[in-house]
Amino acid sequence: MFDLISANPMIQAMDRSMSLASRRTELIASNLANIDTPGYRTQDFDFNTALKAELDKLDGHQAPLTRTDPRHMGTTSSNSLPTTTDPVAPAYERNDGNDVSLDRESMLLNRTQMNYQLSSNFVQAELRKITALLRATP
């Protein structure tokens, strides 16, 4: 019965999405804290690709690879994040070697926050459905 919650694809997917969103918020916090640090480079990852990779793993789209030889390369660990495809424009770089853009980070902060809220609302809606279902069961 608890598969309704623990193996619920919607909840699992949204869980991954929320983890990635909070990881990205951490990076945005780093970027904004270091907005005046000489030589600091903007840190980010490609959210869409990272989420897609997580979801693919979830659905079992990728056959699990077994290492039959120690020389085999390992599959990507869940910790590795794809590098960003949305690089900061070189025009942002100031003469102290710092390329943090306040506009870009503020915009990303808002977007990430909305992503997170959307995901948590989806989880909540799913849980409401399950509760309603349990109530309807005599």
Where do contacts with another protein occur on this chain (CB under 8 A)? 18-19, 21-23, 25-30, 32-38, 40, 43-45, 77, 79-81, 83, 102, 105-106, 109-110, 112-113, 116-117, 120-121, 123-124, 127-128, 131
Read off the tokens for 51.
């989420």
Q: Residue 58 or 114: which CB sits closer to another protein? A: 114
Tokens for 69, please give them: 């030889």
Question: Shortest approach of another protein to residue 43 CB, angstroms?
Answer: 4
User: Nearer Cβ to another protein, position 85 or 124?
Assistant: 124
Q: Is the sign of the CA dihedral 82, 86, 90, 95 positive or negative?
A: negative
Minimum separation from the CB atom of position 58 to another protein (A): 19
Helix (H) or strand (E) holding 42: none
Cα-based torsion angle of the residue sequence 44, 13, 19, 129 in order, rounded to the nearest 10 degrees: 140
